Chain A
Amino acid sequence: MIGIVVVSHGPLAQGLIGAAEMIVGAQADLRAVGMGAAADMDHLRSEIESAVQAVGGANSALVLVDLLGGSPSNASAYLAVAGTPVICGVNLPMLLELLMAREASTPRALADHALQAGKDNIIDLGQRLAVAAG
């Protein structure tokens, strides 16, 4: 199973995991790292890397961060350069699809899945209902 670490500004990562577990139940190998206002980059980087270790290690994990160019993604850059997939722009549908798909997958395949799932699930409900109503 591929481990997942969600990294965010403040409590978003913990909140996303809470929301996901409300839907699919408690999950193993899933960790949140929430950056505080006075975070030190080196400390944040080591927190993320420890969380990756805890969910299965750099060759068997995926990192999901909230925002490209934010400190959570910047602190994950060394992992990304070393080959662990780091996906920016995490959202709840993306996380849910990954939790369902991660049993039989590779980090790279799961990363491609994340990119697609994140985009596909941003939907204008009114338009969707209009289409459904014909």
Chain B
Amino acid sequence: MPVLHMRIDNRLIHGQVTVTWVGSVGANRLIVTNDQVATDPVQRMLLPAAARGVPTSVLSVDDTLAYVASEQGQREKIMIIAKLPTDGLRLLLGGLKPVHVNVGNQAPTPATKFKMITHSIAATSEDAKTYREIARLLGTQLTSQMMPSERPADVLSLLQKNGL
């Protein structure tokens, strides 16, 4: 079973994810992927509680790849929430083949040169490179879609429109 959906979202598991996305994707396992988050004891307690009943793992990039390849991972319908574009790229470079990759929220990092490409996605020129690489590896459209009911926008076009 491939990973159904990878969402790149630095707010991790939150209202939009639990209330709309998990059901729409049909996932029965959530994995939050980021090396720092995976070592934060509060986040490791909080995120499974925040998922409101969907079994949830909080893993490093390497452990996510190992989990997806494991016998248990193969049996599940997995949705991954990668905190940062670089986490998503590392997963793809590690061989992950998600059906769909979507960018949710990326709050601006203070003191960086960012542009808001949507009202909830900030991107720097570094991020733009990462998104382009993700789209290339994916071979399909990298989308920006806040809600499953919204029409997806193409992230590469949004970057281009903003001179990134």
Contacts and interface: CB of A to CB of B under 8 A. Distances in A.
A68 to B, nearest CB: 6
Contacts of B13: 69, 74
Interface of A: 9, 37-41, 43, 67-71, 73-74, 77-78, 81
Nearest to B83: A41
Contact of B50 (A9, A38, A43, A74): A74
Contact of B120 (A9, A38, A70, A73): A38
Taking residues whose C-beta sits less than 8 angstroms from the other chain, chain B's interface range is: 20 to 34
Interface in B15-32: 15, 17-19
10 contacts: A38-B116, A38-B120, A41-B11, A68-B49, A69-B13, A69-B17, A69-B51, A70-B15, A77-B45, A81-B45
Given A41-B107, A43-B107, A78 B42 contact: yes
A81 B42 CA distance: 7
Nearest to A71: B14
A70 B105 contact: no
Interface of B: 10-15, 17-19, 42-43, 45-47, 49-52, 105, 107-110, 116, 119-120, 122
Contacts of A69: 13-15, 17-18, 49-52
Nearest to A81: B42
Nearest to A40: B107
A38 B108 contact: yes
Given A68-B49, A77-B42, A77-B46, A38 B122 contact: yes
